[in-house]
Chains A and B, each alone.
Chain A
Amino acid sequence: MAEVPKDLKYSKEHEWVRVAGDAVVIGITDHAQEQLGDVVYVDLPSVGSEISQFESFGTVESVKAASDLYAPVSGKVVEVNDALKEHPELVNESPYDKAWMIKVKLKDKKELDVLLSPADYDELVASIS
């Protein structure tokens, strides 16, 4: 059963969001990495670029498929996890910790309201597996 930490918010597209003041950290969920299989490449935006809620901000490639990453919130990218370039396997090993993907300065805090709670996300995962 996929792990769903209680201190995060989630998107329907299987990204997680950790809120820290007016910035958020974004990654993909345990369920997402399980579905993808061995991740071999992660393509992330550069620091300073703008991302928009529910639009693609990058791609993650596994031995099975290449999938878009969807931004759970809008804002400016302030930090990128460069470790994933050399070590994409971190996405499989540590999706919620070492494989955080980008840190974003929030444009509009209200966007967080449409994201899923851990319980809602749990339910979503249960309904599709």
Chain B
Amino acid sequence: MTEKLIFELSSPGRNTRYVDDVDVPGKDIDISKLLPAGVIREDLDLPEVTERELVQHFTRLSRFNYSVDGGFYPLGSCTMKYNPKIDEDVGSLEGFTRIHPLQPEETVQGALRIMYELQGFLAEISGLSAVTLQPAAGAHGELSGMLVIRAYHRQRGDDDRRIVLVPDSAHGTNPATSAMCGLQVVNVRSNERGGVDVEALRSLVSEKVAALMLTIPNTLGLFDENILEVSSIVHQAGALVYCDGANMNAMLGQVKLGDLGCDAMHFNLHKTFGTPHGGGGPGSGPVAVRENLAPFLPVPVVARKSTGDGDTFFLDYDRPLSIGRVRSFYGNFGVMVRAYAYIRSLGPDGLRHVSENAVLNANYLMHLLKGTYELAYDRPCMHEFVLTGKHLKDEGVRTLDIAKRLIDYGFHPPTIYFPLIVEEAMMIEPTETETRQTLDAFARALLDISSEAVAEPQMIKEAPHTTPVGRLDEATAARHPILRWKRE
């Protein structure tokens, strides 16, 4: 069953009014005096439906949706984990939702304190010394962090450092970020264990290199075994180490990136600290840096001053070396409150359990599957792992088909065809919030699909069979996109 567009449900004269027009005479407003003639139009073709139709339409659409609250969502790299409801409760408190960013500081001390303490928690978790909460998402954090690194080199008169080294197992945003900063990206290849090829790195560092951008654990779900050597090679060349902390849920409370030689990193609050994302809410990508980079952080930073009657918190703009603003007002505050609640409700031991269970779940699932699906790198993984579907190539069945078939089993498919360095890749991240029963059921489904692919390859290639629409023509949609509905 499919759903028509709301425009197609339209019928002239219908509307959603339950109450008559008010009988108090209104003020005549001449719209032509308010807006320029060019933007006033008579032909606005809006749908005309009753309230009943409107509610039915959107309710039906919402039932087609798949969500974290509805089922298992093992999208590798995205960390689609369950968001505890208590964080939602705390984030919805009126004291947080009914304040305005332009209110005087003395009336929002509680909100500023939450931000100040969150900066401190993130500094502690990263092993670094200063934090900005401003960036609105992970890639925005990367951009802010790399601008900070650029400003640091410039300030030292070291402006020739224009190269950023990016391993081929990095997040796709890493090279994009570097290019956005006007820096040149040079790829570092992986070794046979899936880590940075140390010899290749050694041959690439020079006085022209600004930084190494390292996703750790990387997109193969592997922790770089040579991280200390890697960061020391980079430092010896006078460059800095930027870490993409999007995969922090594999390391929370286990190791501090600062101790491994990382100079700057970003967090994805919407992944690691259980706040909604992926259409469910905005992201937040705080950046933590070592002390020598702190003066360059974006403004404002939340600071504390001790006064006669205790501490007060304020927004510190007096930072002459700052790279400036990266976001209007103070970042995505609502997300910060939820992340703060997540950290406080779990505490240090709880956070350690998060990473332990994320790694345990991924390894458990990997072991159930690796006899049937080939592992890209056969070694213990962190919070995610990469399989390949290439054993079904002779059947003409590809990873895309396996992913589509998983939908029939009631699961959201994993990330596919990423990372690019693995053929027919399937990147699976179960997250720490899943039970063993869920993991078993998912593994069973993937094993069944592998057998089905041999017995009935055509059926798999036509999957999904249980959804309102089946295989969409993605190629035509991308080649000839129709971006707007028009009445024929």
Q: Are the CB atoms of A89 and B479 closer together than 8 Å?
A: yes
Q: Are the CB atoms of B475 and A89 closer together than 8 Å?
A: yes
Which of B416, B474, B479 is within 8 Å of A88, CB to CB? Answer: B479
Nearest neighbor of B399 in chain A, beta-carbon distance: A64
Alpha-carbon distance between A128 and B393 when the two chains are bound, in angstroms = 14
CB distance from A129 to the nearest CB of B (A): 8
Q: Are the CB atoms of B417 and A40 closer together than 8 Å?
A: no
Please name all residues of chain B whose beta carbon is closer than 8 Å to the beta carbon of A122 when the two chains form the complex. none
Q: Does B418 contact A (CB under 8 A)?
A: yes
CB distance from B127 to the nearest CB of A (A): 34
Q: Does B478 contact A (CB under 8 A)?
A: yes
**Residues 394-422 of B at the A interface (beta carbon under 8 Å):** 400, 416-418, 420
Q: Does A83 contact B (CB under 8 A)?
A: no
Which of B417, B420, B475 is within 8 Å of A38, CB to CB? Answer: B475
Number of B interface residues at 8 Å Cβ cutoff, please give it: 10
Residue pairs across A and B with CB atoms within 8 Å: the count is 25
Q: Are the CB atoms of A38 and B474 closer together than 8 Å?
A: yes
Chain B CB count within 10 A is highest, among A41, A65, A128, for A65
Given A64-B417, A65-B417, the answer on whether A41 and B478 have CB atoms closer than 8 Å is: yes
Q: Are the CB atoms of B418 and A40 closer together than 8 Å?
A: no
Which of B400, B420, B475, B478 is within 8 Å of A65, CB to CB? Answer: B420
Q: Are the CB atoms of B479 and A40 closer together than 8 Å?
A: yes
Q: Are the CB atoms of B420 and A40 closer together than 8 Å?
A: no
CB distance from B181 to the nearest CB of A (A): 18
Nearest neighbor of B474 in chain A, beta-carbon distance: A63
Interface bits A28-63 vs B (CB < 8 Å: 1, else 0): 000000010110110000000000000000000101
Q: Are the CB atoms of A63 and B418 closer together than 8 Å?
A: no
CB distance from A61 to the nearest CB of B (A): 8
Please name all residues of chain A whose beta carbon is closer than 8 Å to the beta carbon of B475 when the two chains form the complex. 38, 40, 63, 89
Chain B CB count within 10 A is highest, among A64, A65, A128, for A64
CB distance from B43 to the nearest CB of A (A): 30
Alpha-carbon distance between A17 and B79 when the two chains are bound, in angstroms = 43
Please name all residues of chain A whose beta carbon is closer than 8 Å to the beta carbon of B474 when the two chains form the complex. 38, 63
CB distance from B163 to the nearest CB of A (A): 14
CB distance from A65 to the nearest CB of B (A): 6
Please name all residues of chain B whose beta carbon is closer than 8 Å to the beta carbon of A41 when the two chains form the complex. 478-479
Alpha-carbon distance between A88 and B475 when the two chains are bound, in angstroms = 10
Alpha-carbon distance between A67 and B421 when the two chains are bound, in angstroms = 12
Nearest neighbor of B419 in chain A, beta-carbon distance: A65
Please name all residues of chain A whose beta carbon is closer than 8 Å to the beta carbon of B420 when the two chains form the complex. 65, 67
**Residues 60-116 of A at the B interface (beta carbon under 8 Å):** 61, 63-65, 67, 88-89
Alpha-carbon distance between A120 and B475 when the two chains are bound, in angstroms = 32
Alpha-carbon distance between A128 and B390 when the two chains are bound, in angstroms = 12
CB distance from B417 to the nearest CB of A (A): 4
Alpha-carbon distance between A63 and B423 when the two chains are bound, in angstroms = 15
Supply 4 further A-B pairs (C-beta < 8 A) apart from A40-B478, A41-B479.
A40-B479, A64-B416, A67-B420, A88-B479
- 7 closest Cβ pairs, A-B complex: A38-B475, A40-B478, A64-B417, A63-B474, A40-B479, A63-B475, A65-B420
Q: What are 25 pairs between A and B in contact, CB < 8 Å?
A: A35-B423, A37-B400, A38-B474, A38-B475, A38-B478, A40-B475, A40-B478, A40-B479, A41-B478, A41-B479, A61-B478, A63-B474, A63-B475, A63-B478, A64-B416, A64-B417, A65-B417, A65-B418, A65-B420, A67-B420, A88-B479, A89-B475, A89-B479, A128-B423, A129-B423
